[in-house]
Amino acid sequence: MAPFYEIQFKTRYAETDQMGYIHHSIYAQYFEMGRIEFMNSIGISYKQMEKEGVILPVYNLSTKYHIPLTFDERIRLKTYIKYIKGVRLAFGYEIFNEKDEKTTEGEVVLVFAGSDGKPIRPPKKYLDILKQYV
């Protein structure tokens, strides 16, 4: 596996569904948290990229649920870069519960785009940094 960045946090009551599980829509938010923290840790700020006219819209998101998460669980989220191919940047995710069981796997594919939303080549300064973590 590529180098990863890990964050830990507790699930919140507001994230649960009627069955008492973390709602499937929340996992996309968890992945975003991991991705932004990963990028910050390697010196790339989403905010700065956007000021420079570079955005990273989501192209594809997939999630595999192995074990449901519930309210008030301390979880670990590992985030890593799976690949960079053309204008696409793919991140992988793994979530572990307090028993160190893998509960969830995910992938988010982003596309480098200009502020108009049209795909662009990844700027060299960002590509040079990102390639170190694949």
Region of residue 71 (left: phi > 0; alpha: psi -120 to 50; beta: else): beta
Out of 17, 72, 100, 116, which one is annotated catalytic? 17
CATH class for domain 4-133?
A: alpha beta
Q: What are the sequence ranges of the domains in the chain?
A: 4-133
CB within 8 A of 39, min separation 6: which ones? 45, 46
Cα(15)–Cα(23) distance, integer angstroms: 6
- What does the alpha-carbon distance between residue 125 and residue 61 come to, in Å, rounded to a whole number? 26
pLDDT at residue 3 in the model: 87
**116 among known catalytic residues:** no
pTM reported for the whole predicted model = 0.95
For 30-87, the pLDDT digits (tens) are: 999 999 999 999 999 999 999 999 999 999 999 999 999 999 999 999 999 999 999 9
Amino acid type, 6: E
pLDDT tens readout for residues 109-134: 999 999 999 999 999 999 999 999 99
d(CA 71, CA 130): 34
CA atoms within 13 A on the CB side of 106: 27
